Amino acid sequence: MIPLRIKVDANADEPFVVRLRSFEGSVAGDIPIALDARDVVLERVSDAAEYRGEGGCIRVHGIDPSQIDGDVLLVNPHRGSADRLVRASSPHNTFLVTERCDQLCVMCSQPPKAHHVDLFAHFEAAALLAPEGATIGISGGEPTLYKEELLNFLVQTMGKRTDLRFHILTNGQHFDELDMPMMRSLERERIVWGVPLYCRSPEVHDEIVGKQGAHARLVETLGFLCRAGAQIELRTVLMKRNAPGLTALARFITSTLPFIQTWAIMQLESIGYARQNWQRLFHDSSAEFDGVGRALDLVRSRGIEAQLYNFPLCTVPASYRHLAPPTISDWKRAYLDECRDCTIKDGCGGFFEWHPKKHGYAKLGAQS
Ligand code: SF4
């Protein structure tokens, strides 16, 4: 697995953000890259890679400098480590804004914690150093628990870096009309809001997210986002509990939420609560795809884009595979022994690194 946290020595009192320049005189095309005050340049490699910049020196251990050229790190000198906030060579960069959440979803991949540390100043510094045209994910916990800070962060970074785009996950429980002017001031084309809706039935949705009234509040928020002109990616994690209601949800989307950009039906990630409850939650879509197929057909027949996220390609009938892009991030993607000679592996997102060996799919195997 690609490491997101690396070992770093730095002589400083507080955490700080730097960008690594592993090759002196790095160039973009024929143009030498101008150094920023936060850049540190590789000086030498011994038992560690030593970088020096205006603020001093850092030593990076255990990773080849060529793999981290252009990466933006949040260095924590007390822990002796750094988080790779932006990996320059990857399209999958996400800022984890908080681990707090006001919901408790049965399949949560990152069970919430009470503790919160505000890192927005570091996130802003990191975003400003991201590669040209980058898309940055924002996730949690629930990012909009810190809505004011989040919106200010977006205004600042989008104003200073007009090439950046954002993909923001939110449970849609915290917006209100007072947020409308700020939401409308953000360039809609540059932000996609990923919002989960699990079922047409309020009872089932509320049961899945562990919060009474969440469905009603969410539907209000979707209307709010529509009026704000926001791009919405509606997300539905497929589970035994909501699979039977997929067609009803598709009808609800076409009748009430036709303004969404994309409906993403997502396979379950076996980590956090989902791992603990795997047998109870996992819906084998390779054996029972009909409901998924009907739901896709229905929304697509009304001109709404629909996609399958985190579905291994061979578990999807051939006629729907073009709707299943490889969505699992590079740093957590893995393939099974069964995949070794598969001819469609290049277009397949495979599995989460932590997917159980007994994968649960009745129909899976290399395509020849
Ligand atoms: S065998 Fe593996 S690589 Fe091939 S489609 Fe299935 S999951 Fe993907």
Ligand 1 test: best mutation among 267, 314, 321, 327, most atoms within 8 Å of CB? 314
Distances (CA, A) of 143 to 187, 194, 233, 245, 328: 19, 12, 16, 28, 21
Q: At what angle do helices 214-227 and 202-209 cross, to 10 degrees?
A: 100
Ligand 1 proximity of 366 Cβ (cutoff 6 Å) = yes
Point out the ligand 1 atom lying closest to the alpha carbon of residue 365.
Answer: 1
Distance of CA 338 from the midpoint of ligand 1 (Å)? 7
| 345 ligand 1 Cβ < 6 A | yes
112 in Cβ contact with 101 (< 8 Å): yes
10-residue mean pLDDT profile of the chain (368 residues): values are 93 95 62 79 94 92 95 97 97 96 96 96 98 97 98 98 98 98 97 98 98 98 98 98 98 98 97 94 96 98 98 96 95 91 94 87 84
Ligand 1 closest atom vs CA 335: 2
CB of 350 sitting under 6 A from ligand 1: yes
> Whole-angstrom Cα distance, residue 295 to residue 306?
9
Prior bond of 350 cis (ω within 30°): no
How many other CB atoms sit within 10 Å of the CB of residue 248?
14
Separation of 341 CA from ligand 1 center, angstroms? 9
- Ligand 1 within 6 A of 312 CB? yes
For ligand 1, the distance from its centroid to the CA atom of residue 1, given in whole angstroms, is 18
Mutational test site, ligand 1, from 342, 352, 359, 363, max ligand atoms within 8 Å of CB: 342
For ligand 1, say whether the CB of 314 is within 6 Å of any of its atoms. yes
Closest atom of ligand 1 to 342 CA is 4
Do the beta carbons of residue 221 and residue 213 sit within 8 Å? no
All domains of the chain in start order, with CATH: 5-86 (no CATH), 93-352 (3.20.20.70)
Q: Beta-carbon neighbour count of residue 38 at 10 Å? A: 18
For the CA of 336, the closest atom of ligand 1 is 2
- For ligand 1, the distance from its centroid to the CA atom of residue 166, given in whole angstroms, is 30
